[in-house]
Structure 1
Amino acid sequence: MITELAATTVVALPDNFGSDLGKGIGAIALYAIVGLVLMFGGFYAIDWTTPGKLNELVRSGKPNAVIVTASGMLSMAFIIVTAIMSSGYDLTAGLIKSLVFGLLGIIVQVLAVRSLEWLTKIDVGGTIESEKFAPATIVVAAVHLALGAIVAVAIFDPQVFAPAPVV
Structure 2
Amino acid sequence: MTSTLALAENFGSDLVKGIGAILLYGVVGLLLMFVGFYAIDWTTPGKLSALVHRGLPNAVIVTASGLLSMAFIIVVAIFNSASDLTAGLITSLVYGLLGIFVQVIAVRLLEWATRIDVGKTMEDEKFRAVSVVVAAAHLALGLVVAVAIS
- TM normalised by structure 2 equals 0.91
Question: Which of 68, 77, 81 does residue 71 from structure 2 map onto?
Answer: 77
Considering fraction of residues, name the structure with more helix: 2
Larger radius of gyration: 1
Any gaps of 5 or more consecutive residues in structure 2?
none
Once the two structures are superposed, residues 85-106 of structure 1 have per-residue CA deviations (whole angstroms, 9 ceiling, x without a partner) of 2225332232122211211122
Question: Which of 112, 117, 124 does residue 118 from structure 2 map onto?
Answer: 124
Once the two structures are superposed, residues 118-139 of structure 1 have per-residue CA deviations (whole angstroms, 9 ceiling, x without a partner) of 2222111111111111111111
- Residue of structure 2 equivalent to 1:21: 15
Q: Secondary structure at the match of 1:14?
A: coil
Any gaps of 5 or more consecutive residues in structure 1?
1-6, 157-167
Question: Which of 63, 88, 97 does residue 91 from structure 2 map onto?
Answer: 97
Q: Secondary structure at the match of 2:5?
A: coil
Residues 87 and 97 in structure 1, CA contact (< 8 A), matched pair in contact too: yes
- TM normalised by structure 1 equals 0.82
Residues 43 and 73 in structure 1, CA contact (< 8 A), matched pair in contact too: yes
Shift of 1:117: 2.6
Residues 107 and 141 in structure 2, CA contact (< 8 A), matched pair in contact too: no
- Residue of structure 2 equivalent to 1:115: 109
- Residue of structure 1 equivalent to 2:58: 64
Aligned pairs, number: 150
Shift of 1:9: 5.0
- Residue of structure 2 equivalent to 1:86: 80
Opposite residue 36 of structure 1, the aligned amino acid is L
Q: Distance in 1 between matches of 2:72 and 2:87?
A: 18
Correspondence 1:143 to 2:137: yes
Q: Distance in 2 between matches of 1:101 and 1:143?
A: 20
Give the % identical residues: 72
Opposite residue 53 of structure 1, the aligned amino acid is K
- Residue of structure 2 equivalent to 1:153: 147
- Residue of structure 2 equivalent to 1:53: 47
